Structure 1
Amino acid sequence: MRVELQEDQSGEVFSKQLLYIGNGNIAVDTSFTLHSLPIFVTFVNQRPNSWRWFSQRLQRVILAAKNVDVNEMNFQIQEKIAGELKNYKSVDSVTNEDEVVNYPTEFLNSLELPGLPPHNLQVKIGSVIIMLRNINQPRLCNGTRLAVKKLLNNVIEATILKGKYKGEDVLIPRIPMIPNDMPFSFKRLQFPVRLAFAMSINKSQGQSLSVCGINLENPCFSHGQLYVACSRVGKPSTLFIDAPEHKTKNIVYQKALE
């Protein structure tokens, strides 16, 4: 399948194109025009320390299928922001004291799990972050995106970038988090956030974006991922796709649609 990205059209036409992708009806090797992804350069070059700048561009997000690509892009973009990099290291421990010998702290620190903040959280003032837990509903919910305003030793002060509480400053504390998809139980005490210049396609579900860039260097690997990525915007002129040789995979299981 070739990635389709045409000139501005009506929402009705675009919605039909999205349904073709969602239903797996795009013909194999059909040629469409491909636009490259310019957001890599322009995303953070203008006034990166102003929350208003990020608010205007809040819904400009780069999506990728795999977390490894998301992490790499987030680090690359954050490097473009002037200022000191702050490191926050988590406190990891097993919940069962009898298993301390089997799972040393160094091993727990090395775990990078979806939905869990990293052991070494690296952020700058001006960085865009996303909440990974509900800690103060409805202000701070899983999926809320913010711009970092101050980096203190025990809290991160950030500004909400969208929604009813847009522009409001909040304090984010460290909280204990216990993943439920591990063969053993461990606890990570850390700020419940990750960088969010880029995010995974799965994490983007429910997000409405004004501009969406999709990095398909590593193609989609599960049912409906390409549809989810392309449907984050309402018109094709705000959709930018980067794929090797102008081609990518569209995984659709017809039985799941019946």
Structure 2
Amino acid sequence: MRVHLHNDVDSGLYLEMLLKIGDGCFDVDAEGYISLSRELCNLVESDVDLIAYVFPELQQNLCSDQSLCARAILAPRNEIVNRINTDILNEVEGEMKEYLSMDTIMATELSTSYPVEFLNSLELSGVPSHKLQLKLNVPIMLMRNLDAPRLCNGTKLRITKLGQNILGATISTGVGKGNSVIIPWIPIIPTDLPFQFKRVQFPSSLALLLL
């Protein structure tokens, strides 16, 4: 994890804590857990409280790239990402559009062993989900290099058009900041499975939540 200090004392303390944990110098209890003080974290009771704390006045700040690019929620598992993304999208005004990927097995003789429903259910690191739900003005992050150096893996954008087969967006970070671009469907073939399948989907995910 990279921590950008930006002359922020609190970020410096957080960085020191991460280094201690990584070096094994942080005290742990009998079960191996680390207790964090309230100087380093704020506890919340629910996902709703977490969203409100990280993204105050979300609707008003949707068009502020500076505000959104400075904030993110980190989650360890895809199911948590999908759950909180749904909660966040429900708070954003406007019509939601759903894009479903086209998943096919590469070896046709294995098609009966890996039905489409199973392929649709796969949630893999670095691969867009089968179901992508978006609204206008929400931030997204590219998951593939499309047009370096403007459109690279990790580039953040803001949705300006929800087409049938394309997404219109404005680049929020990097050398192309402020440029209007079009994001197409592309084929993506994961390489970390015992079989190969192809997912055709927009190479993006919501940038409000990071895995």
Residue aligned with 1:158, SS: strand
For structure 2, list consecutive stretches of 5 or more residues without a partner in the other structure: 1-7, 30-34
Does residue 32 of the first structure (1) align with residue 31 of the second (2)? no
- Counting matched residue pairs gives 191
Does residue 178 of the first structure (1) align with residue 185 of the second (2)? no
1:105, CA displacement in angstroms?
1.9
Counterpart Cα distance in 1 of 2:115 and 2:203: 22
Structure 1's 107 and 18: CA in aligned 2 closer, same or farther, altered over 3 A? closer
1:198, CA displacement in angstroms?
0.9
In the other structure, the counterpart of 1:83 is 94
Q: Which amino acid aligns with 1:88?
A: Y
Normalising by structure 2, report the TM-score.
Answer: 0.80
Residue aligned with 1:171, SS: strand
Q: Which amino acid aligns with 1:35?
A: N
Among candidates 49, 52, 60, match of residue 47 of structure 1: 60
Structure 1's 170 and 39: CA in aligned 2 closer, same or farther, altered over 3 A? farther
**Structure with the greater relative contact order (CA < 8 A, sep ≥ 6): 1 or 2?**
1
Counterpart Cα distance in 2 of 1:132 and 1:94: 21
Among candidates 21, 35, 57, match of residue 68 of structure 2: 57
Does residue 9 of the first structure (1) align with residue 9 of the second (2)? yes
Among candidates 105, 109, 125, match of residue 94 of structure 1: 105
Among candidates 108, 112, 134, match of residue 123 of structure 1: 134
Normalising by structure 1, report the TM-score.
Answer: 0.67
Runs of at least 4 residues of structure 1 off by over 3 A? Answer: 8-18, 36-39
Residues 106-162 of structure 1 show CA distances to partners (whole Å, capped at 9, x for unaligned) of: 222222222111112111112221111111111111111111111001110111111
Structure 1's 67 and 105: CA in aligned 2 closer, same or farther, altered over 3 A? closer
For structure 1, list consecutive stretches of 5 or more residues without a partner in the other structure: 1-7, 201-258
In the other structure, the counterpart of 1:153 is 164
